[in-house]
Amino acid sequence: MLKRTDMTPAIDLTAVSGAGPVRVRRPVYRDLFPPCNEACPAGEDVQAWLALAQAGQYRAAWEHLVTDNPLPATHGRVCYHPCESACNRNDLDDAVSIHGVERFLGDRAIARGWTLPAGAAESGKRVLVVGAGPSGLSAGYHLRRLGHAVEVHEAGPVAGGMLHFGIPAYRLPRAGLAAEVARLEEYGVRIVLDSKVDDLLSARAAGCFDAVFIAIGAQLSHHVGIPARDAARVLDAVALLRDVAAGERPLLGRRVVVYGGGNTAMDAARTARRLGADETVIVYRRDRAHMPAHGFEADEALSEGVKIHWLTAIREITGPALTVERMTVDAEGRPHPTGEIETLSADSVVLALGQDADSGFLSRVPGIVRRPDGTMEVGPDLMTGHPGIFAGGDAVPAQRSVTVAVGHGRRAARHIDSWLRGEIHAEPPPPPRVGFAMLHLPVFSDADPAAQRQRPLAERDGFAEIAGGLAEPEARREARRCLSCGVCFECDNCWAACPEDAIIKLGPGNRYRYDYARCTGCAVCFEQCPCHAITMEPEPTEG
């Protein structure tokens, strides 16, 4: 059934002239904001590259995608895809597998050696980026696209930051990440490894850098004051994941307890299983509804045999014995002790209680305000209190995820570019968001989503990638499930429905225009537009 979402009359039947009823509203072609685009922290124009992918124009789709995000093969694997949570198709059947199509495009680009589109002319400006994690790589790429010379200084031996050292290989194979980093270097982003910046102002002056972007990440693990006597081996999750990524196999023993409830805790527990632990238990002081980890991360950990003790806090570690207390949560999700004490045993305890940014080296930089967790205060333009020094990703107060970090790098590059030019960058306000109730969908038939293949549980004893990607027919079919919310895709519904022949087709890719001399404002075209790319607006007044 067609749904009319704006029932204001288009024709005023009470104002009749010699020429007939007076039109008070007219249809206007106006693209609105798809919810997937609005929800993407990296700022991707998701609807646009999906449209190109569904037409089989895969290179064009990839080129459009990388104007916003230079790491699609990586993101297709590790992003928590909030775009899919926002997808209007959830109200019809199931969300479009946006991350699956993104991964397909990223992998295809690597396999076929596609090169990044050319950027702007050289500006003569130089920018120092501190940290080669996702935010630093993104900023370096976007600054290079804008014509600036970029040097990314990385303290470690490999670019990628937590992408390389914090995300297990079963989620993110290193070969694809390395290929996308190498492509950035070929594009002109200079990455200097084993180059820790201890004195930022001196480094800026020595390199004659006009601006700086700080993207140091959060790699200092939180610690808690748990009394420990003759303790079992206690280590932090970040160090464990880093060691494994470096090719080491830490000896954890048969029984491992992971303390924490975030995504890092889930990764540490699953990694411990792959290192040979017979039993891995996650201990978390809140319930599942209040855990910071994404639900599917917990589901995958449980499916691999990890046990989770919700509402449990470690009070003391004595040798292999852990004294734990049962907790309860109040209506706001805050945990409270109950006084009920239990004992667990463990050969190793892995602490996964969050991370801080290692920003101590910035204490000597005037104007930079650091918080207790090491993050820096920045303005809306991501600039710190020191002129020309910007920061983003895990180095600033924000949600910590790869996609947020990449989005910060993109935003910072635009603000840095404007600052270097003596201008102020202002993002135009987005158009209104299109909700499901605004769509008219009889043109669409139901289509089941394409599921990515999963490695069988029995074969997950190593670090080989778990999720298989979409094959070409599956990726194209999945892209075709996009409803193109708010954006005209030239379906011809309006043209076919107009009773006055007031709509003129302008040819493929050029859409349509109205002949308002013929249009009566009946709104039939508006009602027939499946994606709400037509709005009914008040008739312009003369003068």
pLDDT band at 403 (very low <50, low <70, confident <90, very high): very high
Residue 527 in contact with residue 540, Cβ under 8 Å? no
CATH class of 36-116+458-480: mainly alpha
Q: Residue 230: its pLDDT value, please?
A: 63
* Structure tokens, 50: 């999906």
Please give the average per-residue pLDDT across 199-208, as a whole number.
Answer: 96
What pLDDT, on a 0 to 100 scale, did the predictor assign at position 16?
Answer: 45
Mapped onto helix, strand or coil, the DSSP state of residue 518 is coil
pLDDT tens readout for residues 383-402: 999 999 999 999 998 888 99
Q: Quick one: tokens of 534?
A: 């037509």
- The reported pLDDT for the residue numbered 3 is 39
For the segment 39-56, what is each residue's pLDDT rounded down to a tens digit? 999 999 999 999 999 999
* 332 vs 129: which has the higher pLDDT: 129
Q: Tokens 């910590």 belong to which residue?
A: 400
Whether 221-354 and 11-31+488-538 are alike in CATH topology: the answer is no
Q: Could you tell me the pLDDT band of residue 154, with boundaries at 50, 70 and 90?
A: very high
Query: Is 484's pLDDT higher than 60?
Result: yes
CA gap 40, 47 in Å, rounded = 11
Better pLDDT: 446 or 321:
321
Rg over CA atoms, the chain = 27
Cα dist from 495 to 343, 384, 503, 527, whole Å: 72, 52, 6, 12
Identify the weakest region by mean pLDDT among 256-260, 461-465, 497-501.
461-465
Whether pTM > 0.85 for this model: the answer is: yes
Domain limits, the chain: 11-31+488-538, 36-116+458-480, 126-219+357-420, 221-354
For 17, 283, 512, the CA distances from 250, given in Å and listed in that order, are 87, 21, 64
Q: Which residues pair with 191 in a beta bridge?
A: 152
- Mean predicted lDDT score pLDDT of the chain: 91
Say whether domain 126-219+357-420 belongs to CATH 3.50.50.60. yes
pLDDT at position 229 is: 61
CATH code 3.50.50.60 for 221-354: yes
User: For 157-186, how does the pLDDT look when each residue is reduced to its tens digit (9 = 90+)?
Assistant: 999 999 999 999 999 999 999 999 999 999
**The pLDDT of residue 53:** 98
pLDDT band at residue 5 under the 50/70/90 scheme: very low
Give the Cα separation of 179 and 79 in Å (integer): 18
pLDDT at 202: 96
505: three-class secondary structure by DSSP: strand
- Residue 142: helix, strand or coil by DSSP? helix
User: Averaged over 136-140, what is the pLDDT?
Assistant: 98
Predicted pLDDT at 1:
30
Largest CA distance in the chain: 99
Instruction: For domain 11-31+488-538, say whether CATH 3.30.70.3270 is its number.
Output: yes
Given a cut of 80, whether residue 18 has pLDDT beyond it is no
- What is the average per-residue pLDDT within 275-304? 94
